[in-house]
């Protein structure tokens, strides 16, 4: 089975400290790792081969990596990933139901990812944060209020990063994030979202992009990488 490999067709982007250009324009991918007709990602899947492929791997929930899936401007699927010889440690958020345990309300097939993956290298560790949004339990919070969703998203990120660090005997907070991507559903919300995110993550290199994201009632999603030092 062959899938098209496309470079994300970026028109323009905004990064922290540079407000001169507009953000990325994107839309739903035509193929997604979800059953046909699923409300999750709001996608009309035209090809279920990818769904079958993922299912055939028979991964346990403890093997699901941190991941994000967002829309782009063209049909097809672009995938990038990091691989290592040693497996990472998967992490869930105590404030949220694990995504793979979402009820059928959100679609006939739950998404297969963990909230974060911890990888240890040379006495330190990196926490790979999955796309995180304004979801508590399994429900969207603050529908229609982009600023409240932004604040809830940041609370979830702090919870996930703290939980991940605790698993390896460390502590971490929002300040531990070194890089982040903020996906914004509506370009007009950038002026509301960017100041809040930059204030919460003053040490983080942040890229803001307009993109369709998981549920229709979510207005933003943030992914990133945090670094921590393990105690000697």
In 3D, which of 145, 136, 139, 184 has the Cα closest to residue 22? 184
What is the CB neighbour count within 10 angstroms for residue 114?
A: 25
Active site members: 221
* Residue linked to tokens 């097809």: 76
Tokens for 1, please give them: 């089975």
Whether 120 contacts 230, CB under 8 Å: yes
Give the full edge-to-edge strand order of the sheet including 124-132: 14-15, 205-210, 177-184, 220-229, 124-132, 116-121, 89-91
Collapsing DSSP to helix, strand or coil, 212 comes out as coil
b (16+ CB within 10 A) / e for 125-158 = bbbbbbbbbbbeeebbbbeeebeebbbbbbbbbb
Q: Considering all CA atoms of the chain, what is the largest pairwise distance in Å, rounded to the nearest integer?
A: 52
Cα 156 from Cα 213, distance rounded (Å):
17
């Amino acid at each position: 089975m062959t899938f098209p490999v496309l470079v994300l067709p970026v028109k323009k982007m905004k990064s922290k400290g540079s407000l001169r250009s507009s953000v990325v324009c994107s839309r739903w991918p035509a193929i997604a790792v979800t059953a046909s007709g699923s409300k999750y990602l709001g996608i009309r899947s035209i090809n279920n081969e990818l769904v079958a492929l993922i299912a055939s791997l028979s991964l346990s929930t403890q093997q699901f990596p941190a991941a994000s899936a967002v829309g782009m401007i063209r049909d097809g699927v672009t995938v990038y990933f990091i691989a290592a010889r040693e497996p990472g440690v998967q992490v869930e958020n105590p404030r949220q139901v694990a995504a793979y345990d979402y009820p059928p309300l959100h679609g006939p097939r739950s998404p297969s990812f963990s909230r974060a993956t911890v990888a240890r290298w040379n006495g330190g560790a990196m926490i790979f944060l999955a796309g995180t949004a304004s979801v508590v339990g399994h429900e969207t919070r603050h529908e229609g209020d982009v600023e409240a969703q932004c604040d809830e998203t940041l609370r979830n990120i702090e919870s996930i990063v703290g939980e991940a660090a605790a698993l390896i005997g460390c502590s971490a907070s929002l300040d531990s994030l070194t890089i982040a991507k903020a996906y914004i559903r509506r370009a007009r919300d950038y002026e509301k979202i960017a100041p809040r995110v930059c204030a919460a993550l003053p040490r983080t290199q942040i890229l803001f992009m307009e993109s369709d994201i998981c549920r229709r009632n979510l207005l933003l999603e943030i992914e990133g990488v945090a670094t921590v030092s393990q105690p000697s």
